[in-house]
Amino acid sequence: MNEIPERLVAKPSWLITQLAVHARRLVSEGFTAAGARGYHYRILAALDEFGPASQAQLGRRCRIDRSDVVAAVGELVERGHVDRTPDPEHGRRNRVTITEGGAEQLRRMDEVLGRVQEDLLSPLSAEDRQTLARLLGRVLAEHETAGERGW
């Protein structure tokens, strides 16, 4: 890394931030080309993995603010990727379900993310990629747990 102060490149937090900016750009470009947004991917992935959910559950699972969930679900409904119906168990709550079209869009978005991962991590071997993901996951889990403890 030329022309960058050594005390910056020696800091994992700085490196993570710089890589996050690059990764976000690659993902955004890929999703835009697929006619989607990151929130769409998160919601479709959660519905695919966990089944139908309320918008509040989706917000918690996907770490998306409630108002953004409502907007993203509305976009997904318009595109035929999810169905939003009143929850029979709770009259004021909506139940969101992935459609066949949504499952197909999720597969397209998975392909986009696969290409982004390949591009982003091309300097690393498969083993190094697994190690990086494991280590980042460990650091993230610790900070999430600390946040729950009120630290």
Is 29 within a domain?
Answer: yes
d(CA 23, CA 26): 5
Is 105 within a domain?
Answer: yes
- Can you give the pTM of this predicted structure? 0.85
Sign for the pseudo-dihedral over CA of 102, 104, 109, 114: positive
Contacts of 23 (CB under 8 A, 6+ apart): 116, 120
Assign residue 16 the CATH number of its domain.
Answer: 1.10.10.10
Is 70 within a domain?
Answer: yes
DSSP state for residue 143 in the 8-state scheme: H
Domain span holding position 40? 11-117
Q: Is the pLDDT of residue 56 over 90?
A: yes
The tally of domains found in the chain comes to 1
Residue range 59-67: average pLDDT? 93
Is 140 within a domain?
Answer: no
In terms of C-beta density within 10 A (0-12 exposed, 13-18 middle, 19 or more buried), how is residue 114 classed? exposed
CA max distance for the chain: 61
